[in-house]
A = this chain, B = another copy of it.
Amino acid sequence: MKREVPISKAKWIMEPGCVLLVTSGESGNANVMTISWQTPIRSGEPCHVLLVINPARYTCELIMKSGQLVINVPGSDLLGQVHRAGTVSGREVDKFERLGLTAVPAQKVAPPLIDECAAHLECEVERNVELGHHRLLVCRVVRAVADDAYFNGTWDPERFHTLHYLGGKRYGLLCNSTEA
């Protein structure tokens, strides 16, 4: 069941460095983009995370208009959709329809959540840093939700396999965990 995650614990949703599906725009006209370049940048509350995005992407255009986005965490069951979302543009197709994903309303921002994903971070963009080739988006997490079957303060890799991009069509799976 999906439950609220305290903002102070939200960064653990992204910490493993996994591939994300970012939603932008508004319900009925929203877009989906696969992002592998991400990192938390601040622990505790407020919680800040960073996304790296190509300014030419449709998602970047939508985010710049509204200043809002949702980070969704897909598991290995969504591998096909994750890869295909990275190979077509939302300027040409409705990616929710094309990929068979379900948009459900977020609570604090306009872009929808992807129902099939296991966790969601609703975000406001606080700052963007222009690097020419790419843009760094510093995002403040305003709401976090995760499926408690897989995430309980941290991911359970034995039950939920985050995806980690290796290049081409290949993705690594987080399958085990160990204690230092």
Enumerate chain A interface residues (CB-CB to B < 8 A).
12, 15-18, 36-42, 48, 50, 52, 76, 79-80, 82-84, 129, 131, 133-134, 136, 138, 153-155, 157, 161-162, 164-180
- Count of identical protomers in the assembly: 2
Residues in chain B near residue A36, CB distance under 8 A: 15, 17
| Contact A169 B180, CB 8 Å, known A40-B37, A42-B134 | yes
Residues in chain B near residue A38, CB distance under 8 A: 17, 39
Q: What would be 9 A-B contacts, judged by CB atoms less than 8 Å apart?
A: A15-B36, A16-B172, A17-B17, A42-B133, A79-B178, A136-B136, A168-B179, A170-B178, A173-B178
The 4 nearest A-B residue pairs measured at CB: A17-B17, A83-B180, A16-B164, A172-B174
